[in-house]
Amino acid sequence: MMTRNVFPLDPNRYDRHVIHAGDRQWAETNCYVDVWIELLHAWKFDPIAALPFTLSIDFEGDQWTFFKFPLSHLDDLYSLDVQELAIWHPLESHLEEQVGMGRPVLVELDSYFLPDTAGTSYQREHVKSTVAVIAMDVSKHSMGYFHGQGYYHLSGDDFDNILHRNGKPHPSVLPPYVEIVKRRTRPSPTGDALTQASLDRLREVLRRLPDTNPFEKFRPKFESDLTWLADRPIETFHQYSFATLRQFGACYELTTTYLRWLLQRGVTGLDPAIGLFESLSNGAKTMQFQLARALARKRPMNLAAVDQMAESWQVAMDDLKSRFLTSD
């Protein structure tokens, strides 16, 4: 049987998107956003046009928003229809059929069997992560997928294990969450039309910002969390940092990428907001190191930086709202 694929890509020759190729504070964002960046890039779309959603993240009480591309924005900007797939056959059958129809499949898989995570999760720990499968060859036990910063292949035992081909999983192991991506026949906007469509999404997001400054909510919780984090193992620090500092740090770096994209397309007056969001992203990276040192030395942290972040967030959001929502 021939390999079924959505794009005929070679992992050794694949040119990742500039978001994953450049010198950035946060090389990766989160599994879902990273996958979509590369999937859109492979489709010759510009994923940066869909980044207005990064402005809307909030502090959720025990973590910052696990930010994702809104599916409606993917439809508006790229004419892509994303639907959940019910898993009632073996997963490999669904992957083979959907990929054969030219549809990427976004599926939660175990990083223990994803060779691109060598040095972190691969053959070390079982961690759920979203990949986009775009090539399947069951006869060769081979699968091509987007994950993290690029495009990869897995085969052999990894293929059999990640799809539970060596036997049914334990009844307590539930089917993964799976989405399929269908490309509509209508054309998607390009050029100036894409810029205007993206600005429409930006205005939509600015109308739905958090009601309360998220850094003002984060500060007291962060301060209280420091009391119990000091007694937890290093693994807990990494989990905590991923759910908090990395989420808003990586997210606001994408915000700066988006605002610079608008500058390149002729939208003026964005430099102050760019500087403020850049400071939020850089500050999260610095705070990550400070937190690690404070926990290791059992010393308190100076939280003045969080107060400054709250001020920066407010000034930046007020600036963008005054610039883009003046007609509301």
- What is the secondary structure of 155-216 as a DSSP string? ETHHHHHHTTTTSPPPTTSPPPPEEEEEE-SSPPP-HHHHHHHHHHHHHHHHTT--SS-HHH
Looking at residue 328, its pLDDT comes to: 46
pLDDT above 80 for 1:
no
pLDDT above 60 for 327:
no
pLDDT above 70 for 170:
no
Distance CA 21, CA 64 (A): 25
Mean pLDDT of the chain: 94
Distance CA 59, CA 225 (A): 14
Looking at residue 22, its pLDDT comes to: 73
Read off the pTM.
0.94
Q: Between β-strands 80-84 and 105-110, what pairing exists: parallel, antiparallel or unpaired?
A: unpaired
Predicted confidence (pLDDT) per residue in 266-282, tens digit? 999 999 999 999 999 99
Please state the separation of Cα 118 from the chain's center in Å: 20
- Give me the percent of the chain exceeding a pLDDT of 90: 84
Strand-pair partners of 157: none
Span 295-318, average pLDDT = 93
> If you ran DSSP here, which 8-state letter would residue 87 be given?
-
Token pair in block for residue 64? 């910052």
Q: Which helix (H) or strand (E) holds 312?
A: helix 304-324
Predicted confidence (pLDDT) per residue in 127-163, tens digit? 999 999 999 999 999 999 999 999 999 999 999 999 9
Q: Tell me the three state secondary structure of residue 262.
A: helix
Span 291-318, average pLDDT = 93
Looking at residue 156, its pLDDT comes to: 96
Which residue matches tokens 């993917």? Answer: 74
Q: Which helix (H) or strand (E) holds 153?
A: strand 150-155
Give the phi and the psi of residue 295 in degrees, each rounded to 5.
-70, -40
Span 310-324, average pLDDT = 97
Distance CA 141, CA 137 (A): 6
Looking at residue 23, its pLDDT comes to: 83
Backbone CA torsion sign across 110, 70, 74, 203? negative
